[in-house]
Amino acid sequence: LIDTAPSYCRDMNDFHFGEHLVRRSLQALRVRPEDLIVATKAGMVRHGGKWTPCGTRAHLIESVEQSRQALGV
């Protein structure tokens, strides 16, 4: 089980930083995507350094897809 979120980042220009680290680790360990369970969180946007909620269907779908791509699964 991997618990992650696009907000695990260093700053506003670095979304998905944590997911990219996880991706490199999974690749190094040769973990197959089908052997994973990924829990991600979404529903926040960051404007001007401040996090605000955004729970629209379109945003949630986009965020999950971006996390999937960042993780390489």
Q: pLDDT digit string (tens) for 17-45? A: 888 999 999 999 998 888 888 888 888 88
> Lowest-pLDDT range, 17-21, 44-48, 59-63?
44-48
Instruction: Tell me the CA distances in angstroms from 33 to 1, 2, 6, 66, one per residue in order.
Output: 11, 11, 18, 16
Q: How far apart are CA 48 and CA 28, in angstroms?
A: 35
Q: Which two tokens stand for residue 65?
A: 């897809």
Q: How far apart are CA 66 and CA 73, in angstroms?
A: 10
Q: How far apart are CA 46 and CA 44, in angstroms?
A: 7
pTM, rounded to two decimals? 0.79
